[in-house]
C-alpha cells in the first residue's frame, strides 16, 4: 500500500516528467514531499498562474503532459487563467489543487475549496476538458485515468483534479497508468479532397495553430508543394510554414502582410483552412468581397466550422496529421529544399539620432542575429504582432503565439517551461513591458532553476494594443499609459539577472550576440530591453 500522493508522483515519473511547477501550501504539501522521494524537481514559481504557463511550455516542448500544483482557495483560482490559456493552445496540462480536509467538509474552514467555500471543481469546468474532486483514495485511479485520456486524446487540453489533504495521505493499492493509445479519427471525406484540389483554379491554404498541435508541418508542406498552392497563416499559425518558401505569402489577419491580402482580394475559389477556428483575430481585414467560393476546413472540433465565413464549406473532421497523411499516401514526396528561396538578411537601418527606434527595427535585428533554429515564444501584445509580420520563419515549429485567449505573461512562462524541458535548445521570449509588469517576476524563477531563456523586452511605456486601439476608436486613451514606465534592466538586475538596455538596432544585434555567449557560459537567463517609439502604429488596427 502507498499514499495517494506517492502513487500520484510515481505516475508523473512514469510519464517522463522531471519538473512540477507551483507554489507550496499545506493542502498540497504531501505531493511536494513525495517529489523529494522520487528525485523530481519542484519549480517554485512566483505566481500559480505563471506556474501553469510554465507547465504548459514544458508539455509543449517535452511531448508529455505538464503538471502544475496550487493550494486550495486562491492557489486554485490563480491557476484559472493558465487553464484557459492551455485550453486555447490545445496543450495537455494537469492542474492539481488542494482542499483542507474531506472529513471536515461542511465545517467553517480557511481556504475551503468545496461547495461550501470556493468551489474549485465547478470553477474549472469551463476552462478545462475535465474537472473533478477526488473524495476517496480509491477514486484516484479512475479519475486520473479519465483526466489523462481527456488531456492527451483528440483535441488536447488541460484537466483539473482537486484532491483534499487527508485523501493525499490515504493509503491505496499502487498503480501505474500508461499514456492512452491514440486512435485518431480520419474523416470519410478525405477521398473527396484530391478532386477538389485538382479542380481548383485559384486555391489558397490558410494554416492555423492546429498544425502546431498536430505537428503536421511536413504534411502541410507536402500538400502545398504537390498542388502548388500559396500559403497564408493565421496569427496563431505563425511558425508552421517557412517564410522563405516560394509559396509563402506570410500571415493574414492581425499582423498580416500586404501579399496575403492582395491574393485574397484577387479572388479565391477554394480556401483550404487547416487547424483554425477562423476567429476575429485570424480574419481581421477579410471583407465580403474577398470571400472564397468554397472552404475545405480541416479541424478536430466542428464547433465553429461554417460560422465565421458564410460560404459553402466541406468539413474534414478528425486528427489533422492523420487526415493529411491519408490524403497524401499515394502522392509522391516533394523535395522541400527545391521550394526554399535563399535567405536574404536585410541590412540594419539605424534610427534617427535622438529618436527611438521602431519595433520593426527590433524584430529585424533579432532575425538577422538569432540562429535559424531559435525557438521564439511571443507573449500577448503588439510586440508579437510585429513578430508575426516581420520575423521570418526558417524552420517550422520555431514560433509560438496564441491569438485566442491572449493572457498577458503567458509567453514568459511558456518559454521558461520549454527551456527546462529542452535545455539544449535556444529559447527566446519576445515580450512587452505590459506583460513584464504582470508576470515579469518569473524571470527570477528562470534564474533560480537555470532556465536560460533570452528575454527580449519591447518597451514603449504603455499597453500598446489597448492604448492605440482606444485612440483609434474615441480619439483618446484611458489607463493605457504607465505613469512610471518599467526600467527593465534594473528590474532584472534586482533578481540577479544580467540585463542590457538598447536604443538602436545595432545595439540589439550586438547585445544578442553577447547574451548568447553569456547564456552558454553561465546557463542563466539574460534580459535585453529595447526602447521603442511610443507613437508607432502597431499592425493590429484592422480588428473591428
CA dist 290 and 235 (Å) reads 19
Which residue shows C-alpha cell 507554489? 23
**Hey, CA dihedral for 496, 54, 378, 454, is it positive or negative?**
positive
Residue pair 69/32 in contact (Cβ under 8 Å)? The answer is yes
**Could you tell me the fold of the domain covering 359-531?**
Rossmann fold (3.40.50)
The three grid cell numbers given for residue 196, joined into one nine-digit string:
477538389
Name the CATH superfamily housing domain 2-172: Thiamin diphosphate (ThDP)-binding fold, Pyr/PP domains (3.40.50.970)
Instruction: Give the single-character DSSP code of 299.
Output: E
- Enumerate residues 6+ apart whose C-beta is below 8 A from 262: none
Domain 190-339, what architecture? 3-Layer(aba) Sandwich (3.40)
**Residue 528 cell numbers, joined:** 535585453
CB 340 within 8 A of CB 325: no
Q: Is 346 helix (H, G, I), strand (E, B) or coil?
A: coil
Is residue 175 a contact partner of residue 7, using CB atoms and an 8 Å limit? Answer: yes
**d(C-alpha 283, C-alpha 128), whole Å:** 26
The parts of the chain modelled with pLDDT lower than 70 are 102, 104, 106-110, 114, 542-544
- pLDDT confidence of residue 423: 97
DSSP 8-state symbol, 64: S
Q: What is the pLDDT of residue 102?
A: 66
DSSP 320-334: HHHHHHHHHTTSPPP
Q: Where are the domains of the chain?
A: 2-172, 190-339, 359-531
In Å, what is the CA distance from 215 to each residue of 103, 211, 535? Answer: 45, 6, 38
Output the pLDDT for position 479. Answer: 84
Residues in Cβ contact with 21 at an 8 Å cutoff, skipping those fewer than 6 apart: 42, 43, 45, 51, 52, 54, 55, 58, 66, 67, 68, 69, 417
Q: What is the phi/psi pair of residue 167, to 5°?
A: -70, -35
CA distance 540 to 468: 9
Cα(447)–Cα(348) distance, integer angstroms: 31
pLDDT of the residue at 474: 86
Instruction: Retrieve residue 214's grid coordinates.
Output: 498536430
Distance CA 480, CA 316 (A): 42
Per CATH, 190-339 and 359-531 having the same topology is answered yes
Q: Classify 399 as helix, strand or coil.
A: strand
Q: Residue 430: CA atoms inside 13 Å, Cβ hemisphere, count?
A: 30
Cell numbers at residue 313, please? 464549406
Residue 251's CB is within 10 A of a number of other CB atoms, namely 27
What confidence score (pLDDT) does residue 542 get?
57
User: In the chain, count of helices (H) and strands (E)?
Assistant: 21, 20
Partnered with residue 294 across adjacent β-strands are 270, 312
Phi, psi of 416, rounded to the nearest 5 degrees: -65, -50
- DSSP state string for 439-505: HTTHHHHHHHTT---EEEEEE-SB-HHHHHHHHHHHSS-SS-B-SS---HHHHHHTTT-EEEEE-SH
Amino acid at each position: 500500500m502507498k499514499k495517494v500522493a506517492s502513487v500520484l508522483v510515481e505516475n508523473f515519473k512514469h510519464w517522463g516528467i522531471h519538473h512540477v511547477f507551483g507554489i507550496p501550501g499545506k493542502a498540497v504539501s504531501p505531493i511536494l514531499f513525495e517529489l523529494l522521494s522520487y528525485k523530481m524537481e519542484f519549480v517554485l514559481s512566483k505566481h500559480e498562474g505563471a506556474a501553469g504557463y510554465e507547465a504548459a511550455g514544458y508539455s509543449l516542448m517535452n511531448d508529455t503532459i505538464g503538471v502544475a500544483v496550487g493550494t486550495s482557495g486562491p492557489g486554485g483560482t490563480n491557476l484559472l487563467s493558465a487553464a484557459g490559456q492551455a485550453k486555447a493552445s490545445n496543450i495537455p496540462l494537469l492542474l492539481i489543487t488542494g482542499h483542507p480536509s474531506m472529513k471536515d467538509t461542511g465545517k467553517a474552514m480557511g481556504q475551503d475549496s468545496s461547495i461550501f467555500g470556493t468551489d474549485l471543481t465547478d470553477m474549472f469546468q469551463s476552462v478545462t476538458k475535465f474537472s473533478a474532486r477526488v473524495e476517496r483514495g480509491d477514486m484516484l485511479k479512475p479519475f486520473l485515468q479519465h483526466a489523462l485520456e481527456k488531456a492527451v486524446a483528440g483535441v488536447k487540453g488541460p484537466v483539473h483534479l482537486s484532491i483534499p489533504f487527508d485523501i493525499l495521505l490515504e493509503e491505496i493499492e499502487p498503480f501505474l497508468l500508461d499514456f492512452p493509445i491514440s486512435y485518431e479519427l480520419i474523416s470519410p471525406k478525405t477521398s473527396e479532397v484530391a478532386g477538389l484540389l485538382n479542380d481548383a483554379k485559384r486555391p489558397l491554404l490558410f494554416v492555423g495553430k492546429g498544425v502546431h498541435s498536430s505537428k503536421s508541418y511536413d504534411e502541410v508542406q507536402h500538400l502545398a508543394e504537390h498542388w502548388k498552392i500559396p500559403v497564408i497563416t493565421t496569427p496563431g499559425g505563425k511558425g508552421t510554414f517557412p517564410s522563405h518558401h516560394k509559396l509563402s505569402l506570410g500571415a493574414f489577419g492581425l499582423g498580416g502582410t500586404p501579399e496575403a491580402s492582395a491574393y485574397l482580394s484577387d479572388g479565391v475559389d477554394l480556401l483550404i483552412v487547416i487547424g483554425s477556428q477562423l476567429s476575429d483575430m485570424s480574419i481581421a481585414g477579410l471583407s465580403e468581397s474577398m470571400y472564397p467560393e468554397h472552404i475545405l476546413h480541416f479541424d478536430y472540433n466542428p464547433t465553429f466550422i461554417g460560422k465565421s465565413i458564410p460560404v459553402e464549406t466541406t468539413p474534414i473532421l478528425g486528427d489533422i496529421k492523420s487526415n493529411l497523411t491519408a490524403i497524401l499516401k499515394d502522392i509522391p514526396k516533394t523535395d522541400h529544399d527545391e521550394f526554399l528561396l535563399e535567405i536574404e538578411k536585410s541590412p540594419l537601418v539605424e534610427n534617427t539620432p535622438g529618436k527611438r527606434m521602431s519595433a520593426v527595427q527590433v524584430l529585424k535585428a533579432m532575425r538577422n542575429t538569432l540562429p535559424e533554429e531559435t525557438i521564439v515564444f511571443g507573449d500577448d501584445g503588439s510586440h508579437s504582432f510585429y513578430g508575426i509580420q516581420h520575423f521570418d520563419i526558417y524552420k517550422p515549429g520555431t514560433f509560438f503565439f496564441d491569438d485566442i485567449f491572449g493572457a498577458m505573461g503567458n509567453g514568459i512562462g511558456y518559454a521558461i517551461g520549454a527551456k527546462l524541458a529542452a535545455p539544449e535548445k535556444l529559447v527566446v521570449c519576445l515580450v512587452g513591458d505590459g506583460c513584464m509588469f504582470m508576470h515579469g517576476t518569473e524571470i527570477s524563477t528562470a534564474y533560480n532553476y537555470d532556465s536560460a531563456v533570452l528575454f527580449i523586452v519591447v518597451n514603449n511605456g504603455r499597453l500598446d494594443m489597448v492604448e492605440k486601439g482606444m485612440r483609434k476608436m474615441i480619439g483618446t486613451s484611458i489607463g493605457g499609459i504607465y505613469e512610471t514606465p518599467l526600467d527593465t534592466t534594473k528590474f532584472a538586475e534586482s533578481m540577479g539577472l544580467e540585463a542590457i538596455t538598447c536604443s538602436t538596432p545595432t545595439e540589439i544585434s550586438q547585445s544578442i550576440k553577447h547574451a548568447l555567449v553569456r547564456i552558454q557560459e553561465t546557463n542563466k537567463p539574460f534580459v535585453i530591453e529595447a526602447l521603442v517609439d511610443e507613437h508607432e502604429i502597431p499592425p493590429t488596427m484592422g480588428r473591428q
